[in-house]
Structure 1
Amino acid sequence: MSGLTKFVSGHNNWKLVDIHIDIASFKKGSVRSAFPEMIEECKAGLMDIVVVKNISKLGRDTVEVLDAINTLREAEVRIIFRQEELDTLTVGSSLLISTIEACTQAENETRSDNIKWGIKQRASNGNLGFYRRKCYGYDKDKNGDLVINKEQAEIVELIFDLYLGGKSILGIVKDLKDRNIKSPTGKDNWPKRSVEEMLSNEKYIGISVVNVGGEEGQIYKLNNSHPAIISKEMFDVVQEEKQKRSNVVVDENGTHRSNKKYSSKK
């Protein structure tokens, strides 16, 4: 802000009328109390020139910026963007609009990159909140850390035991229903996918996994992030068993399914 005040004071025929500062989120709908005050002062004829640090300070996207510019122009107020060296008194509308669109796009990309960088930093440092995301078998204590839900943990152990005992996924689903064990959402029938994902979830051996960036993102793992329900040895055996039952074979002919079929204990 000191740079802007120096800029204004450098013009002998200018008088500093007011300073408006908004400290708020870039999210849509967040409150900007100083901005409407500035607009009203301009409409009331209290200011002839508005000096802004850069385009992004006038709005959170291209639409907001252009709306603000149109409003100020209707009030016959000149706008100067210091960083971009733009002045509505001397710059044509088409050039101004194209410059604003380019700058806001670059600003959004930079902001997005900064957010992703921050997430990756917290992920690599083990400080990302997603590491403490709750799943079936766990609760959160007053500090937000994962703690074992004993009743649910027993069911997690049962599912792993049933699978190693020869039960298929559908067999486990039927067994859980016969035992009147409700699904994580409180329903009588467990979704097949829920059981499959549970048998592959490293959360149950005390490892939290976070994918930053989607399908092509980077995988971060935090070991011993919380108490384990299943031993590492049992988990590994289950993964080997799942591979065997998948009938997927990798050999000199590539990856394909074998002719052998798994016969489960229903």
Structure 2
Amino acid sequence: MQENLKIHFIPPVPKREKRVGIYCRVSTNSAEQIQSLTAQVSHLTRLTAAMPQWVLADVYMDIATSKTGSSRKEFNRLLEDCNSRKIEIVITKNISRFGRDTVEILDVLKQLRTLGVRVIFEQEELDTANTDSDLMISIIESLAQAENESRSDNIRWGIKQRAASGISKLYDRKCYGYKHDKDGKLVIDEQKAENVKLIFDLYLRGQSIIGIIKELEKRRIFSPTGKEKWCKRTIDVMLSNEKYAGDVRLLKSGKSEVQYLSSDNNPAIISKEVFEAVQVEKKRRSNMVKDENGWQRKNEKYSSKKKIKSK
């Protein structure tokens, strides 16, 4: 026997026995989203291959389109394969890709836990095999809430940026009395514009909103939706719409700290003087007044009959 003989132990290659299913989803079929889908699959495939005891069993991909809407056939196929014990581990990019809302995610995780299927959220580094049920629920709920808030913030930020740069489509949003030309710009609809002028004129002459509605019905003037009956809200909004005086004010709700005014944005149906006079009259007629104690309701409501008698 040779004195320098050395024997090296070669460990056996572990058998790949855990069947893995990769689930990926994108919200549209745009080129950018399809590229994102490809990147998701490629990354998770490499991650699966790097685990000695994992074997890739199948890849499930859902692409939402205008035709299919929120249909998730591949997600349902994944759940069927889990029920059939074809899949033992599910790996996905993040929580938002896995479910449409918190309730659905928690319901599916409960089903898969009962089946003994392990779910891994790669981005959040969450693994149902290592996480307590109550903790998992708490984490998913807080992450979902944070994501929804982030999405809402992004939407609001986008609206503000487009408004600030003057490229928001809201500047040319059509309202009663206007139509779009071939370039999508606002132009006056002459016939309906006469009705707008009539509404402002009747209001300044002392008519209440109910009185204006009766006059419109008497003249057989249909509402913006083509109905014989006008809504009080429709008239009230029209009387406050700066667009009729040629201006557009965006983000003017009380929730927004910033407002954007586009002066002479479109052709005016009424003069700025008439519009301002109506705003003063609306404030005078309001049954709410503000004093040192805040907003208070007036003891007496506005009456067009009293207005007419006083003249």
Range of TM-score over shorter length: 0.7 to 0.9
Match of 1:182 among 214, 221, 228: 221
Aligned partner of 2:55: which letter? K
1:145 and 1:114 map into 2 onto residues whose CA distance is: 27
Aligned 1:181-260 pairs, distance under 5 A:
182=221, 184=223, 195=235, 197-211=237-251, 214-217=253-256, 218-236=258-276, 238-239=278-279
Match of 2:212 among 173, 181, 184: 173
Match of 1:52 among 85, 88, 92: 92
Aligned 1:70-81 pairs, distance under 5 A:
70-81=110-121
Deviation per residue, 1:109-140 (Å, 9 max, x gap): 21222222222222323343433333221234
TM-superposed CA distance for 1:85, in Å, is 1.8
The alignment-based identity, stated in percent, is: 48
TM-superposed CA distance for 1:189, in Å, is 7.4
Aligned partner of 2:163: which letter? A
Aligned partner of 2:124: which letter? E
* Alignment partner of 1:39 is 2:39: no
2:78 and 2:237 map into 1 onto residues whose CA distance is: 54
Conserved 8 A contact 1:169-1:192 = no
Aligned partner of 1:231: which letter? S
How many aligned residue pairs are there? 257
Conserved 8 A contact 1:137-1:156 = yes
2:122 and 2:134 map into 1 onto residues whose CA distance is: 19
Change beyond 3 A, Cα 1:71–1:189: closer
Change beyond 3 A, Cα 1:32–1:124: farther
Range 91-100 or range 195-204, more displaced: 195-204
TM-superposed CA distance for 1:204, in Å, is 0.8
Structure 1 unaligned segments of length 5 or more: list them.
none
2:117 and 2:43 map into 1 onto residues whose CA distance is: 21
2:184 and 2:85 map into 1 onto residues whose CA distance is: 53
Q: Provide TM-score, normalisation by structure 1.
A: 0.75
Q: Which residue of 2 aligns with 1:132?
A: 172
Conserved 8 A contact 2:164-2:260 = yes
Deviation per residue, 1:192-225 (Å, 9 max, x gap): 665554444211122223336x422243333343
Conserved 8 A contact 1:169-1:196 = no
Change beyond 3 A, Cα 1:42–1:203: same
Q: Provide TM-score, normalisation by structure 2.
A: 0.66
Q: What is the RMSD computed on CA atoms of the aligned residues?
A: 3.9
**Structure 2 counterpart SS, 1:47:** coil
In our comparison, the structure showing a higher alpha carbon Rg is 2
Change beyond 3 A, Cα 1:201–1:108: closer
Conserved 8 A contact 1:53-1:82 = yes
Change beyond 3 A, Cα 1:105–1:191: closer
Q: Which residue of 2 aligns with 1:89?
A: 129
1:45 and 1:205 map into 2 onto residues whose CA distance is: 68
2:227 and 2:134 map into 1 onto residues whose CA distance is: 60
1:175 and 1:5 map into 2 onto residues whose CA distance is: 69
Aligned partner of 2:177: which letter? G
**Structure 2 counterpart SS, 1:20:** strand
Deviation per residue, 1:132-163 (Å, 9 max, x gap): 33322123446554331111212323444556
* Alignment partner of 1:9 is 2:9: no
2:83 and 2:164 map into 1 onto residues whose CA distance is: 50
Conserved 8 A contact 1:173-1:190 = no
Change beyond 3 A, Cα 1:86–1:150: same
Range 37-46 or range 181-190, more displaced: 181-190
Change beyond 3 A, Cα 1:178–1:130: closer
Aligned 1:113-128 pairs, distance under 5 A:
113-128=153-168
**Structure 1 counterpart SS, 2:270:** coil
